[in-house]
Amino acid sequence: MKVMIQSINFDATEKLEDYINKKTKKVEKFFDEIRIVDIYLKVVKPETVTNKQAEIKVTAPNVEFFASKTCDTFEEAVDLALEAIEKQVIKYKEKVSKK
């Protein structure tokens, strides 16, 4: 699984990147065919408190999963987006197993 982190208009700290890498490894437990995880981090509307956005795209053979969350911190946004991805993966696996 290849994890690619892109921080738009700012430099992500090494601590943040380590946190994201650690969290994305957990998604692989649900679906071992995941090839690429693209994570886009950006600050939107700097004048608001809830301005940290994380967009996550997970690519596996024949399917893509996507989630976008905006929160107070990047860690929270990544956590919520990964939870959404996990739900999508579980739903997809249930759908595939019924066929």
Give tens-digit pLDDT for 56-73: 999 989 899 999 999 999
**Alpha helix (H) residue ranges in 1-99:** 14-30, 74-98
Give the pLDDT of residue 99. Answer: 65
Distance of CA 84 to the CA centre of its chain: 9
Q: What is the pLDDT of residue 70?
A: 94
For the entire predicted model, the pTM comes to 0.89
pLDDT of 54 reads: 96
Q: What is the pLDDT of residues 10-43, one digit of tens each?
A: 888 999 999 999 999 888 888 888 899 999 999 9
pLDDT tops 90 at residue 76? yes
Domain hosting 53: range is 2-98
Domain count within the chain: 1
| Pairwise CA distance, residues 74 & 25, whole Å | 17
What CATH number should be reported for the domain holding residue 44?
Answer: 3.30.160.100
